[in-house]
């Protein structure tokens, strides 16, 4: 263990290491030294003095043995290592390579948390709009937001997209996003796609009175993304969907902090399955889909829900929610009285995949008022059509906000759309 007087100069990584027989102190020391100065005991004393400022330090080791509680069935240790700022620059790529580069391949070892030094933390503005800014753009502050997803987009022309967009808009959605697999193509190039969908949004507004944010998928060669984003904004883009894990957190940071790209960013979780699901390897969901997304500038973050077709355990959902909505990330948890002066704006949480109106009470129970209810098949698959599918969700949101069970609300208010959704998908409790 170590006694560091100024934690503001260190980032702290927490690892969970599984091993039936390992000396966890030796393992921790190997990480602390191996991921920083490389070697310590072999260095001459004069060299150690100059290298001391670069050395990683063991903060704590918590060993858990099988049988100590019903949840512990294998021997493991939670190991915290402090990494000095002097070793890396203020990019998330530099930090991730430092704390989880080659060690990510060293046995059953998972990165489960990270706290940032004050210097590192101050280098990031976080979400430009954040949860409150997105609400301001829409003019909606009194309820959860509601988003729809294009379905069947590849091979459709602009007229086909416009038809889908208009139907979703008339159903009462606040946001519409592209499918993450819709890339630049001759049928629906980004500037024309934006223009035709904004036109449909304005048409729907004449009926619903609602503003709509359209998150168009920002894709292309990495070094041309800024140019592509500006082209879309010139055409009227109001938000971007971005496949962050394919391009990298630093790319999101560069784009979201660009003063000429003044629209919210929605982070898609594509490829996240390479990181969080394993008990023994990768990076925990609260880090890869929570802390790092928010720090890099995502205003809205999608991730698998605990309820639908692509399921993430509820406790992991709650950890992401905590990271996006409430948590400060600096290492002040280690220093009494310390305070991070750069408070990040909150990001919207969007539990997704397989969502239908009967799941809305669970979503609001777990995520509260500040959540985006996100649906695709639950809208397009409604027996009464796409518009009715959207209306059923709005009715379910209203019922849940008022603490009324969905069946009672549908019956007492004559909500045929919600009743049809209940008859089709049921209600989860």
Domain boundaries, the chain: 7-122, 130-425
3-state secondary structure of 15: strand
Residues 6+ apart with CB under 8 A from 375: 146, 147, 148, 149, 355, 356, 389, 393
Please give the pLDDT value at position 176.
96
Q: Write down the mean pLDDT value for the chain.
A: 90
Residue 280 in tokens: 């023994």
Query: Residue 44, by phi and psi: left (phi above 0), alpha (psi -120 to 50) or beta?
Result: beta
Please give the pLDDT value at position 52.
78
Please give the pLDDT value at position 341.
44
Mind listing the pLDDT tens digit for each residue in 304-355? 998 877 778 999 999 999 999 886 665 544 444 444 444 789 999 999 988 9
CATH 3.30.70.150 fits 7-122, yes or no: yes
Please give the pLDDT value at position 156.
79
Please give the pLDDT value at position 428.
87
Active site residues: 102
Residues of the chain with pLDDT below 70 are 1-6, 39-48, 152, 327-342
**Strand positions, DSSP E, 185-288:** 213-217, 239-242, 265-267, 282-283
For residue 11, the 8-state DSSP code is E
* Degrees to nearest 5, angle at CA 85 with 120 and 293: 35
Cβ density class 289-321: b for 16+ within 10 Å, e for less = bbbbbbbbbbbbbbbbbbbbeeebeeebbebbb
* Degrees to nearest 5, angle at CA 411 with 410 and 416: 55
CATH 3.20.20.110 fits 130-425, yes or no: yes
């Amino acid at each position: 263990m170590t006694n560091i007087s100024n934690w503001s100069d260190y980032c702290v990584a927490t690892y969970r290491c599984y091993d039936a027989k390992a000396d966890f102190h030796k393992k921790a020391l190997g990480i602390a030294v191996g991921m920083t100065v490389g070697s310590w005991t072999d260095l001459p004393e004069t060299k150690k003095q100059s290298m001391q400022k670069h050395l990683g330090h063991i903060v704590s080791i918590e060993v858990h043995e099988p049988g100590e509680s019903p949840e512990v069935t294998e021997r493991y240790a939670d190991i915290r290592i402090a990494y000095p700022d002097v070793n890396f620059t203020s990019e998330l790529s530099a930090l991730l390579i430092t704390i989880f580069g080659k060690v990510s391949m060293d046995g059953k070892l998972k990165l489960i948390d990270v706290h940032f030094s004050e210097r590192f933390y101050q280098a990031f503005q976080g979400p430009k709009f954040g949860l409150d800014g997105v609400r301001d753009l829409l003019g909606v502050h009194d309820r959860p937001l509601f988003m729809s997803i294009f379905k069947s987009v590849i091979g459709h022309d602009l007229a086909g997209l416009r038809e889908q967009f208009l139907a979703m808009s008339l159903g009462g959605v606040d946001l519409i996003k592209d499918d993450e697999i819709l890339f630049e193509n001759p049928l629906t190039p980004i500037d024309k796609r934006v223009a035709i969908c904004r036109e449909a949004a304005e048409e729907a507004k004449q009926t619903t009175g609602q503003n709509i944010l359209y998150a168009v998928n920002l894709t292309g060669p990495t070094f041309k993304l800024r140019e592509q984003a500006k082209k879309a904004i010139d055409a009227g883009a109001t938000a971007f969907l971005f496949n962050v894990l394919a391009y990298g957190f630093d790319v999101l940071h560069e784009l979201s902090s660009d003063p000429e790209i003044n629209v919210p960013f929605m982070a898609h979780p594509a490829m996240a399955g390479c990181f969080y699901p394993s008990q023994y390897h990768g990076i925990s969901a609260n880090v890869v889909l929570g802390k790092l997304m928010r720090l890099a500038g995502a205003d809205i973050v999608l991730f698998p829900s605990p309820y639908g077709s692509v399921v993430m355990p509820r406790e992991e959902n709650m950890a992401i929610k905590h990271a996006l909505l409430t948590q400060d990330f600096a290492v002040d948890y280690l220093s009494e009285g310390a305070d991070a002066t750069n408070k990040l704006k909150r990001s919207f949480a969007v539990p997704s995949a397989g969502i239908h109106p009967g799941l809305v009470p669970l979503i609001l129970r777990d995520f509260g008022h500040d959540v985006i209810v996100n649906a695709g098949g639950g809208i397009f698959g409604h027996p009464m059509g796409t518009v009715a599918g959207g209306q059923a969700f709005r009715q379910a949101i209203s019922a849940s906000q008022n603490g009324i069970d969905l069946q009672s609300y549908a019956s007492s208010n004559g909500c045929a759309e919600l009743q049809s959704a209940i008859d089709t998908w049921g209600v989860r409790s």
